[in-house]
Amino acid sequence: MSFWLKSLGVSEQNLDEDWFVRDRREWFACPKRGRPSFHVGDRVLIYATGHQRIVGAVEVTKEPRLDPDFVRKEGEFDGDRWPWVVEHVPLLIVPRVGRGPRLARADIDTLSVRSKSHIAITPQQYRKGVAGLAEAAGLPGETFAALAD
């Protein structure tokens, strides 16, 4: 199992504050630069570009697939720019961007994600991010332990 930070939103269009109401889906798109590095079982922190906040933790459920037509049909994305689809199940979501923990809560430098769709993170960074999400959701610390492993 690997751990990742995946950005949602782009520099020209950040996520809306109530992103989960609008973007409730169990997949994200990746750029055409090549097959994304995600694999089934990987854990991913979702990061709101422009806000520098973590808004969710998900688990990848299928290998990435090149499917620009799906992206065009299912989302408001340019399937040519973002043709890779990665399906996941949500583990913990903060539906309002402003409630999510800042990247610093997970010891992630904001410069490390600049101009990148996703980056590898350590298991410790993932756990700290999930702990921040749990705090934002008002969950007691022991509740999120299963999500962090």
Give residue-wise pLDDT tens across range 93-131. Answer: 888 889 999 999 999 988 777 777 899 999 999 999 999
Query: Do residues 18 and 96 touch, judged by C-beta distance below 8 A?
Result: yes
Opening angle at CA 96, ends 65 and 28, nearest 5: 5
Domains located in the chain, CATH noted: 3-148 (3.10.590.10)
Residue keyed to tokens 């950040």:
14
For residues 5 and 12, the model is more confident at: 5
Please count the CA atoms within 13 angstroms of the CA of 34 that sit on its side-chain side.
Answer: 3
From residue 29, give the alpha-carbon distance in Å to each of 39, 95, 136: 14, 19, 26
Enter the pTM of the model: 0.88
Instruction: Classify 106 as helix, strand or coil.
Output: helix
